[in-house]
Amino acid sequence: MKNETSLYRAARRCLLENEVEAKLNLTDQLAQAWRLGELGLSDWSPADDVIEAGHPPLPELVHPSKLPRRGLGTEQGRVALIHAIAHIEFNAINLAWDAVQRFPDMPEKFYSDWIQVAVEEVRHFRLLRERLRDAGADYGDFPAHNGLWEMAVRTADDPLVRMALVPRMLEARGLDVTPGIMARFRKAGDQETVAVLQVILDEEVGHVQFGSNWFAWLCEQRGVDPETTYFDLLDNVLNGEIRCPLHRQARLDAGFSESELERLEALCAKH
């Protein structure tokens, strides 16, 4: 981060970087510069022109319906599923940097939290890419979809909505499904990938917790009820459709209340 003093500008540079290795390395450098006090909360500019995050030419981005089913009965299916998870982690790096560069006038800890998320998402991506390379593949070898970034665009105008619908909806869904994915890899005899997914699950609880903390803080600042606001937002986006089962303990650890979980499970029961 030489010659850069603005955290916002540095984060935007990370976000817009297209080359994979450069984005990973810039993340490491920016996080260190922030820890050393070399970057300040100055020179923010609107992010209206940032409508597409930096990503390499491959993987090809297609509609989710165009993606092949990823069964673990074959080596190809196993590798394709690892690739799909790696792509989620790559997108999550961009979402973390977007939160840093897009929303000014937040407490300093907000930026520290999302920088930590970016660093951990980089670690997750590297672990998964190593599993791909062990199998003779690499990131970009399979098509992928852009759903995570599309949600970033939908929530670009309001950090409260971002916290509700990215960490507390999309990433929380990851907490629910990861144990089942781990069981499938365990059944396929791939203990190395199971171990990687355990690292990811443990740290993603913290990411959702950050979302819960900042969502609650923003609700308090605006004098609105967090639970009512959250379910109103979910209803607008999901039309009340929630997938189950929920990973109750992980969600509790990540800042969901028992009342929220009961309401989510009641929505599940309707569908």
pTM score of the predicted model: 0.95
Q: Which of 40, 163, 10 is nearest to 95 (CA)?
A: 163
State yes or no: pLDDT of 113 exceeds 80.
yes
pLDDT band at 82 (very low <50, low <70, confident <90, very high): very high
pLDDT digits (tens, 9 = 90+) for 194-248: 999 999 999 999 999 999 999 999 999 999 999 999 999 999 887 767 888 999 9
pLDDT digits (tens, 9 = 90+) for 37-59: 999 999 898 876 677 899 999 99
State yes or no: pLDDT of 191 exceeds 80.
yes
Residue with tokens 């929630």: 242
User: Would you state the pLDDT for residue 271?
Assistant: 56
pLDDT band at 65 (very low <50, low <70, confident <90, very high): confident
Q: How far is CA 79 from CA 24, 111, 133, in A?
A: 22, 34, 10
State yes or no: pLDDT of 2 exceeds 70.
no
Domains of the chain: 7-43+53-269 (1.20.1260)
Buried b (16+ CB within 10 A) or exposed e, 26-64: bbeebbebbeeeebeeeebeebeebeebbbeeebeeeee
